[in-house]
Copies of this chain bind each other. A is one copy, B any other.
Amino acid sequence: METAKLLLHCPDRPGILAEVTDFITVNKGNIIYLDQYVDHVENIFFMRLEWELERFLIPKEKIEDYFATLYAQKYDMEFKLYFSDVKPRMAIFVSKMSHCLFDLLARYTAGEWNVEIPLIISNHPDLQHVAERFGIPFYLFPVTRENKLEQELVEMRLLQEHGVDFIVLARYMQVISEQMIDAYPNRIINIHHSFLPAFVGAKPYHAAFERGVKIIGATSHYVTTELDAGPIIEQDVVRITHKDTVQELVNKGKDLEKIVLSRAVQKHIEHKILAYKNKTVIFN
Contact = CB atoms under 8 A, between A and B. Distances in A.
Contact of A237 (B199, B237, B279): B237
Contacts of A38: 32, 34
A241 B22 contact: no
A197 interface: yes
Nearest to A281: B242
Given A213-B232, A241-B282, A14 B25 contact: yes
B36 A40 contact: no
Interface in A64-86: none
Nearest to A37: B243
A213 B232 CA distance: 6
Contact of A134 (B19, B98, B133): B133
Interface in A25-56: 25, 30-32, 34, 36-41
B211 A235 contact: no
A194 B71 CA distance: 42
A106 B110 contact: no
A21 interface: yes
B31 A34 contact: no
A228 to B, nearest CB: 11
Contact of A34 (B36, B130, B280): B36
A236 B213 CA distance: 11
B25 A243 contact: no
Given A30-B14, A31-B14, A34-B36, A215 B243 contact: no
B134 A110 contact: no
A88 interface: no
Nearest to A220: B214
A41 B279 CA distance: 34
A223 to B, nearest CB: 15
B242 A213 contact: no
B102 A280 contact: no
Interface string A237-249: 1010111010000
Nearest to A29: B14
A232 B211 contact: yes
Interface string A93-107: 000001100110011
Given A25-B18, A102-B106, A133-B133, A279 B212 contact: yes
Contacts of A36: 34
A212 B231 contact: yes
Contacts of A280: 212, 242
A255 B261 CA distance: 12
A196 interface: yes
Contact of A15 (B22, B109, B211, B284): B22
